[in-house]
Amino acid sequence: MAGAAASASARPERPPNADLGAWLAVAAGTLGAMMATLDISIVNSALPTIQGEIGASGTEGTWIATSFLVAEIIMVPLCNWFEKLLGLRRFLLIAAVLFTAFSVVCGVADNLTTMIIGRAGQGFAGGGMIPTAMTIIATRLPRHQQPIGTSLFGVTAILGPVVGPLLGGWLTEQWSWHYAFFLNIPVCTLLVVLLLVGLPDRKVKPELLAEADWFGLFGLSIGLGCMTVVLEEGNREQWFSSPLIVQLSIVSAIGFALMAYGQFTAKDPIIRLSLMFDRVFGSVVVMAVMLGMVIYGTSFVIPQFLASIADYNALQSGKVVMISGIPSMIMMFLAPALMRFLDIRVAVITGLAILALSCWIDTSLTADAVGSDFTDSQLLRGVGTILAFLFLNQAAISSVPVQYAGDASGLFNAARNIGGSLALASIATVQDQRMWLHSRRIEDTLQANSVTVQDHVAAMAQSLGGTDAALRSISGTIAREALVMTYNDMFWLLAVGIVLVSPLVLLLRPLPKDISAAPAH
């Protein structure tokens, strides 16, 4: 008995559970992250309607989505510095108010310039609300309750891209595309209340302006901004045959060089890239890039496939994308317990394997495929994403000291968004190149001197009312089959990419022993 008592007294006492204010702060952080990730994709399904009403061409209209992503990617790594300068509550209050104001600008926009300004402003403000959610979890919750907060954040971050197309499509079909932006007004009002109640105020530190890493601040902004534009617009501009892409690439390289200079000369670098040299955090970042490619890539490819091949409208496509959110919601309640009992390496490799399988299933699509053909792969994708993302999210927090949680949050979320940009850039390039290749291969199998081909053309000409109509029909069939094969290639590339990063799981360390699923009291 005495030995047992001594053993019990020798065990360190577990920190007390978080109070109500801390959980309100976590709720505010996750709500803000949900809004920011949701607004990346909410306009995708409404984009054709918006373009028509503001008089933008297809190429110009892509900047409605691109401007948001570029601004957000620039802002995400800068959040930690702004948080130190302004204090977390003041910074998030400013971000929430600006996000609301720019949402109204978008909602009342009647021309492309106003819309792009509004979307870029949304991106800057929204980018401030994503990594700060992880910072709140790391600093306001005791370690044994962090998995609960992490699961809440992970689900909102994952649901944003999959709910966005559905919600945007529904609002456009039932009401108007303007409500995709006006929806943010009541949500931001609730967010402001939660921030005022849940986060303590802190004084502004103007002295940090004199000590700021201005080289890093400026370099990071132009480096990431120009790189994102290159990735988004490169394929449309024929890559380095375009003077614009060459110039942006040079400016991006100069920006990253300035950021690297700041790492060595600044007392407190704008973002600590040295964290990348930690084997755990570095491997987490690489896998986060791949996860971003899968999350954003599939949420873009599936609606495009269904619209092109199955003639689905925005709302129908959004429902198919939303399927992956069903297991995510279910696993939200299981995630804290899984983090306590399941080894992180087992969880992440299982999640990546399920993701690879989900992409592999979609490599056998045909021209007759419809939304129901994506059900199995989407359910698997939801399970795989939640397993991999939540555990990597927790690993990013746990692998660095608490004082560097903001830097880790910025790098982790920037990596995920950069993965999304890489996916969209790759999709455009692959679609052009593989579409051409598959079309030529199909055409090569149709020999003009073949009796079978001639008989087929004659039969079609008779039924369609002429040889020209028959040839146009055959050309359309070739284009359709080539497009289906191209989409299969895209899913195959995603599956291969997941397999290639999977060995990095071996570099991860188990989560701290004081991680548990104990509920708050």
At 59 the pLDDT is: 59
CATH code, residues 272-437+488-512: 1.20.1250.20
Angle, in degrees to the nearest 10, between helices 325-332 and 375-398? 40
Would you place residue 138 in the very low, low, confident or very high pLDDT band (cuts 50, 70, 90)? confident
Q: Which of 384, 429, 387, 392 is nearest to 505 (CA)?
A: 392
Count of Cβ atoms closer than 10 Å to residue 457 Cβ: 18
pTM, whole model, 2 decimals? Answer: 0.75
* Tens-digit pLDDT profile for residues 219-239: 888 887 788 778 777 777 777
- Rounded to an integer, the average pLDDT of 119-133 is 83
> To 5 degrees, how large is the angle CA 75–CA 80–CA 82?
70
User: pLDDT by residue (tens digit) across 342-355?
Assistant: 888 888 999 999 99
How far is the C-alpha of 190 from the C-alpha of 125, rounded, in Å? 16
Tell me whether domains 19-209 and 272-437+488-512 share a fold. Answer: yes
Tens digits of per-residue pLDDT, 473-521? 777 778 888 888 999 999 999 999 999 999 999 888 776 655 443 333 2
Q: If you average pLDDT over residues 288-300, what whole number do you get?
A: 86
The mean pLDDT of the chain is 79
> What are the structural domain ranges in the chain?
19-209, 213-269, 272-437+488-512, 438-487
Distance CA 476, CA 306 (A): 17
Please report which helix (H) or strand (E) contains residue 111, including its range: none
pLDDT for residue 218: 85
Give the CATH superfamily of 19-209.
Answer: MFS general substrate transporter like domains (1.20.1250.20)
pLDDT for 9 beyond 50: no
Q: Tell me, what's the pLDDT at 497? A: 93
